[in-house]
Structure 1
Amino acid sequence: MKVKIILGTAREGRKSEKVARYLARKASELGWEAELMDVKDYLLCYTHRWKVTPEMERYRAKILEADALVIVAPEYNGSYPGELKILLDTIYDEYEALPVGIVTVSVVTGGTRLLMELRTAMLNYRMLPVGQVLFYNVDDIFEGEELRDEKYEERVERLFRTLEKYARALGPIRDEVREKLREKEEHL
């Protein structure tokens, strides 16, 4: 199973990077082929689906490889970072039937408002949000790069088990969608 873990903020000093790196390591330990995708590597100034840039094509290719996604983002003013929104908006059909886990990072709320916003967005993209983990105070639960809280470890493992079930169940739909996209490209 292939999972793409999207780190959804380009902010300097971001706490969510520690969480995203932990998730990538944990996914690999659980037998996933995991890749961390940093929104900083795909920074776009605006959305323009009709004009495909090299960054967009690279992002699209990564999404088409995925059996599942995990989005890691901090809560910014009750929602998610603008650079994540722009990145997500660069494609649409490619997301269909992808199960997605949402991992939020916020000191005060744990990211509950961000979670609600991202769930709605994922449904609009025809992804299926199947689980979430809310990380509260990252500095208190990590020692260096290591997670110190067993409850979070259990939540992360449960997220990946759930993602795997849905990735397998939705696989035939993803295959059908991706085949139609390939056929469409061949006719262009």
Structure 2
Amino acid sequence: MPRLTVIIAATRPGRAGLPIASWFTSQARVHGGFDVAVVDLAELQLPLLDEPNHPRLRQYTREHTFRWSAIVEASDAFVIVTPEYNHGYPATIKNALDYLHQEWHGKPVGFVSYGGVAGGTRAVQQLKQVVLPLRMLPVVETVSIPFHFQRITGGAFQADENLESAAKAMLDELAR
């Protein structure tokens, strides 16, 4: 079964990314098309890119880079759960993407985004510009969650039928 790795991009305390990623991860497991893994960038703790060599060379020197490389290499597809901060994506996901190069090649990527009125769509559009040169394959279907804070109660994310349908459509496309 292909491995889908869900990447939680936000690292700030109190972040909505945890309950949203938890909801999406359960949707992915129910979907049944993937072996689902989760990477929380807050736990991964990649420092700002600190490798002396260009990622294309794969001449890594740091243990955290070897660990990150192994996770990405073992994955067949990705979903990035990202907030929109000031009309863009968080620096943590850009840093995580920039650490590697060849490991990303040919792998599909979907996006679950959240924010205010735009639901994180501006962050996703910018991230697509980042993943394309890494030769990743962004799928058209996305899950966009506007006013996400209204859907989190007691630390749990409350989805509706539209969000569940969007998640299924994206997972179907990633599996295809």
Q: Name the TM tier (shorter chain).
A: 0.7 to 0.9
- Tell me if the contact between 1:43 and 1:83 (Cα under 8 Å) persists in the aligned partners: no
What is the match of residue 38 of structure 1? 40
What is the match of residue 105 of structure 2? 96
* Cα distance in 2 for residues equivalent to 1:67 and 1:44: 21
Cα distance change, pair 36–159 in 1 and its aligned pair in 2 (3 A): same
- Tell me if the contact between 1:6 and 1:70 (Cα under 8 Å) persists in the aligned partners: yes
What is the match of residue 154 of structure 1? 165
**Residue deviations 1:63-110, cap 9 Å, x none?**
111111000110112211111111111100110000000111102321
What is the match of residue 7 of structure 2? 6
* Cα distance in 2 for residues equivalent to 1:103 and 1:90: 22
* Cα distance in 1 for residues equivalent to 2:142 and 2:13: 24
- Tell me if the contact between 1:142 and 1:148 (Cα under 8 Å) persists in the aligned partners: no
- Provide TM-score, normalisation by structure 2: 0.87
What is the match of residue 135 of structure 1? 145
Structure 1 residue 148, shift from structure 2 partner: 3.7
| Structure with higher RCO (Cα < 8 A, 6+ apart) | 2
- Amino acid corresponding to residue 168 of structure 2 in structure 1: E
What is the match of residue 18 of structure 1? 19
What is the match of residue 47 of structure 1? 49
- Amino acid corresponding to residue 26 of structure 1 in structure 2: Q
Moved more, 109-118 or 48-57: 48-57
Superposition RMSD in Å:
1.5
- Tell me if the contact between 1:147 and 1:153 (Cα under 8 Å) persists in the aligned partners: no
Q: Structure 2 stretches of 5 or more lacking a match?
A: 54-59
Structure 1 residue 22, shift from structure 2 partner: 1.0
**Residue deviations 1:10-67, cap 9 Å, x none?**
1111112211111111111111211110001222332134253222211111111111
- The alignment status of 1:59 with 2:33, answered yes or no, reads no
- Provide TM-score, normalisation by structure 1: 0.82
- Amino acid corresponding to residue 16 of structure 2 in structure 1: K
* Cα distance in 2 for residues equivalent to 1:11 and 1:56: 22
- Tell me if the contact between 1:42 and 1:87 (Cα under 8 Å) persists in the aligned partners: no
Structure 1 residue 132, shift from structure 2 partner: 1.3
Moved more, 70-79 or 138-147: 138-147
Structure 1 residue 119, shift from structure 2 partner: 0.7
What is the match of residue 132 of structure 2? 123
Rg: which structure is higher?
A: 1
- Percent identity, aligned pairs only? 29
Pick the structure with more helix per residue: 1
